[in-house]
Amino acid sequence: MRTITKISKKENESLQLKRVAAYARVSSGKDAMLHSLSAQISYYNSYIGKRSDWEFAGIYADEAFTGTKNNRPEFQRLLTACRDKKIDMIITKSLTRFARNTVTLLETIRELKLAGIDVYFEKENIHSISSEGEFMLTILASYAQEESRSASENLKWRIRKMFQQGHPNTGNMLGYRLFDGKLCIIPEEAEIVKIIFHDYLSGMGLNAIMKKLINTGTPTKNGAVWNESTVHVILRNEKYSGDMLLQKTFRQDHLTKKRRVNRGQLPMYLVENSHEAIIDKQTFISVQQEIKRRAAKYHTSQKPNKDHLFTKFIRCGHCGRYYRRKQLKRNTALPPKIAWICRTFYIRGKESCPSQQIPESILLQKTAEVLGTTELTRKLLEDRLLKIQIPGHNQIEYCFKDGHVVRITWQYPPRSESWDEDKRQAAREHRLAQLGKRS
């Protein structure tokens, strides 16, 4: 005889443990002193482990990332695990640990709620999945965001008062350190600065100076990698001549914290002879004049850059930098050939990155095949792809937003297939013209 047994809700829940994860974050030294990140991790390990009806699903912890940003790596990893249905509940210390931006908080909570995932805030004793949870979260998150804004405004006021009085806010630069509000010279670093200024006036370009510094093993500030931009910033920095121009940049707002160049939005303050100079003023002036002269010579017809189809989409699998578009030199009358090449390889050579350039024609062909289309657009790439990665020679990886990856290989086509009669004739004429010049 067939039998049917009713399983109650309580009995059903006991069959499957609730997968519980914790999120922790420390954003300032003061907070770290009161409740360190390691202490939070230890606490949640014990807290979740004590419950017999819970299954430990991991601890996701960000250190020194602000709660107003969406790019916290562990926070994003937590959300990915939730979307992959690996977590049933999240525990966090408080609203401000989870997110201070009200919009970010509510969008995240609603997404998780739709997926049936609860977020428990210990300090406020609120479960997001409860009926009154979102209402209380809206009110409390608004207070948290206002607190963040108020703290940001107070910090801005203090820094701007320092600028008005001629005091720098930071001394994080090669050649100087800030001691008791004054820039003091670090002799061994100051010698590097002098070499850079001397080499530039002797005729060397930014790229040549950068390569010289790399090849001689010259250390940078905080162990960073030398690049053209770093050299250019040093050459333009008035502090090396003993003057200070304060408030050259500012933070756009307390949420994004994006730094912007001050182009007249706020007052700037010039403090002359504020500290000991590394470079005499005449040398500094001569360098600024040389920078302008070279810019006028080489960039008079420069057009505004426009994003190409693949701009900031292709990443090198060796060094991680973006590929850039490059017009290759050709010794024939044929149309110019376009390729995409790793920035590190382009600037520093194969010693720094053993990557490979890819003809644009092949990149267009393979991308269209992978996406199953005859018409590629920037929007199509942005809608479907996270990135295009070049892991090795003759290889391309297409990483889709839904998580799957397509790996393909490619080869250079034989010249017999890529050259038509017009191209052959153009090459003959160019070769004849070269022979005529030599005779």
- pLDDT surpasses 70 at 219: yes
* Mean confidence (pLDDT) of the chain: 80
Point out which residues pair with 370 in neighbouring strands.
none
Side chain identity at residue 47, one-letter code? Y
pLDDT at 280: 93
Residues 414, 422 contacting (CB under 8 angstroms): no
Q: What is the mean pLDDT of residues 283-302?
A: 82
Instruction: Return the structure tokens found at 118.
Output: 């609860």
| Interatomic CA distance for residues 358 and 347, integer angstroms | 16
Nearest Cα neighbor of 253 from 433, 411, 100, 410 is 100
Q: Which two tokens stand for residue 330?
A: 């050709």
CA angle at residue 198 from 192 to 203, to 5 degrees? 130
pLDDT greater than 60 at residue 271 = yes
Buried b (16+ CB within 10 A) or exposed e, 332-353: eeeeeeebbbbbbbbbbeeebb
DSSP string, 341-391: EEHHHHHH-TTT-----EEHHHHHHHHHHHHT-SS--HHHHHHHEEEEEE-
CA 368 from chain centre, in angstroms, equals 28
User: For the chain, what percent of residues have pLDDT higher than 90?
Assistant: 29
Instruction: Name all domains of the chain by residue range, CATH numbers in brackets.
Output: 16-147 (3.40.50.1390), 166-298 (3.90.1750.20), 314-418 (no CATH)
Q: 372's torsion region: left (phi>0), alpha (psi -120 to 50) or beta? A: left
Beta strands 182-185; 358-359: pairing state:
unpaired
* Rg, Å, the chain Cα set: 29
Mean pLDDT of the region 331-338 = 66
Is residue 367 within 8 Å of residue 398, measured between CB atoms?
yes
pLDDT tens digits, one per residue of 383-433? 999 999 999 899 999 999 888 899 999 998 776 555 666 666 666 776 676
> pLDDT tens digits, residue range 68-109?
445 678 888 999 999 999 999 999 988 777 876 666 777 888
The confidence score (pLDDT) of residue 34 equals: 42
Could you identify the residue written with the tokens 């703290």? Answer: 151
Angle between helices 281-298 and 187-201 (to 10 degrees): 40
Q: What is the pLDDT of residues 113-143, one digit of tens each?
A: 889 999 998 988 888 888 777 677 667 666 6
pTM over 0.75: no
Which among 424, 384, 390 is positioned nearest to 407, based on CA atoms? Answer: 390
Q: Yes or no: say if 235 and 204 are a contact pair by the CB < 8 Å rule.
A: no
Instruction: For strands 259-261 and 269-271, give the pairing.
Output: unpaired
Residue range 277-290: average pLDDT?
Answer: 94
pLDDT digits (tens, 9 = 90+) for 145-203: 666 666 666 666 666 677 666 676 666 789 888 888 788 999 999 999 999 999 999 99
Alpha carbon distance 93, 60 (integer Å): 12
Asked whether 356 and 318 are in contact (CB, 8 A), the reply is no
| Rounded mean pLDDT, 354-366 | 92
Q: Let me know how long the chain is.
A: 439
Q: Note the pLDDT of residue 389.
A: 93
Packing angle between helix 133-164 and helix 102-114, nearest 10 degrees? 150
